[in-house]
C-alpha cells in the first residue's frame, strides 16, 4: 500500500467551506487567463518554428492555439493532484467532484469546455446561478458534478 499525500475526500458539508467562493472564482479566472496568455507567447514561437519544419502545416493550428494552451493548462492543473489551477491556488480555492473521486484531466477539460460554451450563450448570467444554488455552484459545475471549496 502506498502513501497518498492528497487523500480522496468528499465535498465538505460545512457552509464555511463555500463562503466567498464566487468572488474568489472571478479573481482566479482573471489570474488564470493572464497566465494562459503568458504561456501562449512561447507556444506561438514554438509553433512558428514547427510550422517551418512542417512546410507550413503548423500554421493551421494558430487559430486554435489559445484553446489548446488553455486546455492543457487547466487539464494539468485542475486535473492534477492539487485540483486547482495557479489562480485558484492564489485565491485559496480548489475544485472537487461531488462523488469524492479526484479530478482527472478529462473532467477538467469537460468542465472548461462547458464553461466556455455556457459563457458564450449566457455571458454574465452564468455568475447569477451561483447566487441562488446550493454551495454557490455554477451551471457547468452542476452539469459536470463538481464543486469549488475554500482551501484557505
Q: What DSSP string runs through 33-101?
A: HHHHHHHHHHHHHHHHHHHHHTTTGGGGGGGGHHHHHHHHHHHHHHTSTT-S-HHHHHHTEEEEETTSP
The band of 1, judged by pLDDT with boundaries at 50, 70 and 90, is: very low
Q: What percent of the chain has pLDDT over 70?
A: 93
* C-alpha cell recorded at residue 70: 488553455
pTM of the model: 0.87
The band of 129, judged by pLDDT with boundaries at 50, 70 and 90, is: confident
Question: From CA 64, how far away is CA 83, in angstroms rounded?
Answer: 25
Residue 10: per-residue pLDDT? 65
Amino acid at each position: 500500500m502506498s502513501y497518498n499525500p492528497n487523500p480522496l475526500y468528499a465535498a465538505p458539508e460545512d457552509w464555511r467551506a463555500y463562503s466567498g467562493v464566487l468572488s474568489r472564482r472571478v479573481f482566479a479566472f482573471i489570474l488564470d487567463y493572464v497566465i494562459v496568455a503568458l504561456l501562449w507567447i512561447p507556444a506561438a514561437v514554438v509553433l512558428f518554428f514547427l510550422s517551418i519544419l512542417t512546410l507550413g502545416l503548423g500554421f493551421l493550428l494558430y487559430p486554435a492555439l489559445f484553446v489548446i494552451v488553455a486546455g492543457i493548462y487547466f487539464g494539468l492543473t485542475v486535473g492534477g493532484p492539487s485540483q486547482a489551477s495557479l489562480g485558484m491556488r492564489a485565491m485559496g480555492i480548489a475544485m472537487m467532484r461531488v462523488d469524492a473521486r479526484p479530478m482527472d484531466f478529462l473532467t477538467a477539460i469537460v468542465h472548461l469546455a462547458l464553461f466556455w460554451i455556457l459563457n458564450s450563450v449566457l455571458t454574465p448570467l452564468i455568475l447569477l446561478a451561483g447566487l441562488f444554488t446550493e454551495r454557490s455552484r455554477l451551471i457547468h459545475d452542476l452539469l459536470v458534478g463538481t464543486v469549488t471549496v475554500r482551501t484557505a
